[in-house]
Amino acid sequence: MHELKQSPAGIRPPGVRPVWSLPLRTGGHPIVWVALALGVLGLEFLTGPHVQVATLFVFPVALATWSHGPLWGSAVAVALPLVRLPFLYYVWQVPSPWALEAVDTAVDIVVMLALVRIIDYIARQRREIHVLEGMLPICGFCKRIRDESGGWLQLERYIGERSEARFTHTFCPDCGRDHYGDLVK
């Protein structure tokens, strides 16, 4: 049996890692996703109109949305297809109708904006949900939980320090009758 190891998110067996460990809204420098966007555009320019490198636009759009929010992600989602459009006529001189390429660009923008919405939704959900993982050693009598250092903490304190959960105290009908008798109906 694995020896359980305590971590800030709870207890998990050694070597078990979360599936998605990107930090939320890192606030890191936007140069990272700007450089990625320019790299994709450069690759698009070098490969020409017949190789669909534009599908790689999802990476800078996703990174901008995840790290800096939907406004920046949307800006990148709109800018990349619009910057690509002049390549078709002025650089590659593609003989397709302008209206067809404009519709294709509009479809690319709509798809990228949908991607921004999905990634923003996932990021918001991840920020709102903090999960304690693994088995928690809890006293069967007083319901205190053993922490990483071996100390015993009240359930509310332990969970409150490791998640975004906050507690209010009330009592159930059975405890109300047991402790307050006829005052609780």
Question: What is the distance between the alpha carbons of residues 17 and 133, in angstroms, rounded to a whole number?
Answer: 11
147-170, pLDDT tens digit by residue?
889 999 999 898 888 877 888 888
43-55, pLDDT tens digit by residue?
888 887 777 777 8
Angle in degrees, CA 128, 132, 134, rounded to 5? 150
CB-CB neighbours of 67 under 10 Å: 21
Of the candidates 46, 51, 113, the residue with the CA atom closest to the CA atom of residue 82 = 113
111-150, pLDDT tens digit by residue?
999 999 999 999 888 877 766 677 889 998 998 999 889 9
Secondary structure string (H, E, C) spanning 86-133: HHHHHHCCCCCCHHHHHHHHHHHHHHHHHHHHHHHHHHHHHHHCCCCE
Q: Output 84-90 pairs: Cβ under 8 A, ≥24 positions apart.
A: 84/41, 84/44, 84/54, 87/44, 87/45, 87/49, 88/49
Tokens 């800018």 correspond to 79
| Residue 61 binned pLDDT confidence (cut-offs 50, 70, 90) | very high
Q: What is the mean pLDDT of residues 21-35?
A: 70
Cβ within 8 Å of residue 143, ≥6 positions away: 154, 155
Cβ within 8 Å of residue 27, ≥6 positions away: 67, 68
- Sign of the Cα torsion 182, 154, 133, 68 reads positive
Question: What is the distance between the alpha carbons of residues 89 and 100, in angstroms, rounded to a whole number?
Answer: 12
